[in-house]
Structure 1
Amino acid sequence: MAPRRVWWFRVLFALLAFLVLFFALLPFGPGEGGVPGPDLTLCLAAAWVLRRPDYVPVWLLIPLLVLGDALLGRPLGLWALIVLLITEYLRRRVDQSEALPFWSEVGLVTGCIAVAFVANYAALVLLLAGTPPLGGEALHALATIVFYPPAAIFSQMLGVRRLAPGELDTLGSRA
């Protein structure tokens, strides 16, 4: 059983994801032709998974992402699957990325975000689904990339820090 601190951070992540979703549903969005906002749930998930993967388990992330797909009118499960694959890729790289400087981490996540948006757009095109304008999707990806460093710094301020050398997570492993 995970310690109380880990459960507290899991609840905090879920609350932050619900808060991001709440503000995304409010009617003061960009409207037609406006600049789309960032995907803050992806930013937070990437930052938390790279620092403490045990705080964001798969069983917590999947329902939050699928709920976001359902409420925001995206194809159900597509974006959730893409974000899940990206976070699992980052989760597997925790040991290699812990020695990286902050801006190298930002570069790694930037590449992942770009791949996520390209994969989402390509899947929508291949499935002959309604695709948003390519320029709007590029701006959405750019906004998400720009908001990753503040999300990582915010996560650090909340206490989501990397494991110290030799420290084990709640699962008894390095990450």
Structure 2
Amino acid sequence: MAVRLVWRYRAIFVALCAAVIFFAILPFDTGQGGVPGPDLIYCLMAAWILRRPDYLPVWLLLGVFLLADFLLMRPLGLWTLILILVSEYLRRRVDHAEALPFWSEVGLVSACIAGAFVVDYLALVLLLAKTPPLLGQGLHALATIVFYPAIAIFSQMIGVRRLAPGELDSLGTRA
């Protein structure tokens, strides 16, 4: 039963990410100078990793992030690498995050979001690639930070909760 539940949540994560990617590639004309939207896949990943890291193995994240890079026409693999590194950092912080109140969790994830966007921008600059406007990147990071609490609450509502004290994850270990 526990294995089915894990696979069900993995399928839900992939379906949610597919919906986000689908709506991101729709040809909505926002005109020039619009406020960039949040990176909802990043928010979902962070919320789920901090609650149940066993639901999102690295291979699943790698596939979803690479598909998003392909379809959203980002530099192939750069954002994926950054998000994998952030996910592993958050995965290592799960034991420490249990004691964190919700707003401290939001602060931790906000710092990771800001760091990821800075690293992405600096990597593009160092590689002499075409970089998006710095203000646009800052607004994109800010929108992602603002949307994280809503995504974390949504994740709680669909059943992605932290383990209770003494409870074991699907791998038989304490997350």
Note if contact 1:45-1:87 (Cα within 8 Å) is conserved in structure 2.
yes
Which letter maps to 2:38? P
Deviations 1:14-59 (A, max 9, x none): 0000000000001115342110000000000000000000111111
- For the residues of structure 2 that align with 1:143 and 1:62, how far apart are their CA atoms? 23
- For the residues of structure 2 that align with 1:144 and 1:69, how far apart are their CA atoms? 17
Who is 1:162 aligned against? 162
Who is 1:127 aligned against? 127
Gaps of 5+ in 1: none
TM-score of the aligned structures, taking structure 2 as reference length: 0.97
Q: By how many angstroms is 1:3 displaced? A: 1.1
- For the residues of structure 2 that align with 1:162 and 1:53, how far apart are their CA atoms? 9
Who is 2:81 aligned against? 81
Who is 1:144 aligned against? 144
Superposition pairs of residues 13-52 of structure 1, within 5 angstroms? 13-28=13-28, 30-52=30-52
- For the residues of structure 1 that align with 2:134 and 2:148, how far apart are their CA atoms? 21
Who is 1:66 aligned against? 66
Note if contact 1:30-1:36 (Cα within 8 Å) is conserved in structure 2.
no
Q: By how many angstroms is 1:2 displaced? A: 5.9
Note if contact 1:79-1:120 (Cα within 8 Å) is conserved in structure 2.
yes
Partner secondary structure for residue 50 of structure 2 = helix
CA 1:29–1:10: 2 relative to 1, 3 Å:
farther
Give RMSD over aligned pairs.
1.1
Who is 1:93 aligned against? 93
- For the residues of structure 2 that align with 1:136 and 1:30, how far apart are their CA atoms? 14
- Name the count of aligned residue pairs: 175
The alignment-based identity, stated in percent, is 71
TM-score of the aligned structures, taking structure 1 as reference length: 0.97
CA 1:32–1:115: 2 relative to 1, 3 Å:
same
Who is 2:10 aligned against? 10
Who is 1:173 aligned against? 173
Deviations 1:54-88 (A, max 9, x none): 11111111011011111111000000000110011
- For the residues of structure 1 that align with 2:76 and 2:138, how far apart are their CA atoms? 21
